[in-house]
Structure formats: structure tokens, C-alpha cells
A = this chain, B = another copy of it.
Amino acid sequence: MPRVSAGHLAARREQILDGARACFSRYGYEGATVRRLEEATGLSRGAIFHHFGDKDSLFLELARQDSRRMAQVVADQGLVQVMRDVLADAALGGTGISWLGTRLEISRRLRTDPAFRADWEKHSRELTEAVQGRLERQRQAGVVRPDVPIPVLTRYLELAFEGLISHLAMGLPADDLRSALDVVESSVRRG
């Protein structure tokens, strides 16, 4: 095997993850065939699976990366902003940086696979903690309504988020969703 620098290796992994994200987002987990993953990444199956073992490992690495990034955006901008991003992305047909592709498959596994649910708990909790931490800081800044406990507002925002993912997954009408998110946002704010 040729020697490659650590930087080159990391860049190659990112190239694969970015292509795979677009591919899962567009075709769903089942529809993201090896041939389509090759097209989306511009690399051969040999190169892809040299870095990630198999399709499931590739998906899980992507899902973990998405989950960490989502927790970061939540910490910086709040879960409502993540919902707006997901919605804007869905309106564009799911191209660009999309969390919807991995979220749908994650939701499906959480519903149907108790072992996965236990494995994934750490990531679910990470997201919950990011939402909670953000709400606490926003409350201290006087932005969040003072009359409802933070864990309740956290659960409320998570319900809206799960509803949005489910709604988009079921292909239900997307009109008025942006305005519905305004209602979600205003209902956690003071006054």
C-alpha cells in the first residue's frame, strides 16, 4: 500500500462522508446502493470500504457526525434553528447539508431495534442536554419564558422536532410549516 499522510487520509474520509450524506439523503438508507455511493463519492467501492468497512458502518459514522454537529448547532443557535435548516433543506429536495437523511433512518431504528436504541442513547442524551443547556442560557439572558421548567420546554421542543421529521418522512403537505415553527419558537419565549 502506498504511504499516505494523515491529512490526506482525513480528507479522503471527509470526501466519502460528504458524498454518502448526499446519497443517503436523496435515496434513503435502503436506496443508497453501493453503485450510488460510488457515484456520489467519486470513489470505487474498494476505496470506500477500505475506509469504513461496510455500508452500515459508513452510515453509523455519518449519523454520529450529524448528531454531534446537530448538538453543536443546537448549543449555538437552538433546536428551532435546526428545524428551520431541516425544513429549508427538504424544500430544496434534500440536497446540500442534510440531517434529514440520517435522522429518518435513526428514527426507524429507534422504533424497531431495541439494541440500537440502547446503543444510541448516548447520542439522544447529548442532543437533549444541548437543548437544555441552550434554554438555560437563554433564560438567564431573559429571552426564555420564566413560568415553565426547562426540562418541560426541552421536551416540548423535542416533540416539535420529532413531529417535523415524521411529517416530512410521511410526505405530508409542507405548507405552513415555517409559520408553525414560528409558533413553536414564540411559545418558548418570554412575553
Interface size on A, residues (CB 8 A): 40
Whether the Cβ atoms of B180 and A111 lie closer than 8 Å is: no
Q: Interface on chain A toward B: helix, strand, loop, or mixed SS?
A: helix
Within 8 A of B (CB), among A138-160: 148-149, 151-156, 158-160
Whether the Cβ atoms of A159 and B163 lie closer than 8 Å is: yes
- Among A114, A148, A162, A164: residue with most chain B CB under 10 A: A162
Which residues of A are interface residues toward B (Cβ below 8 A)? 104, 107, 110-111, 114, 117, 124, 148-149, 151-156, 158-167, 169-172, 175-177, 179-180, 182-184, 186-188
9 interchain residue pairs of minimum CB distance: A163-B163, A187-B187, A159-B163, A110-B170, A162-B163, A156-B180, A155-B176, A152-B179, A155-B180
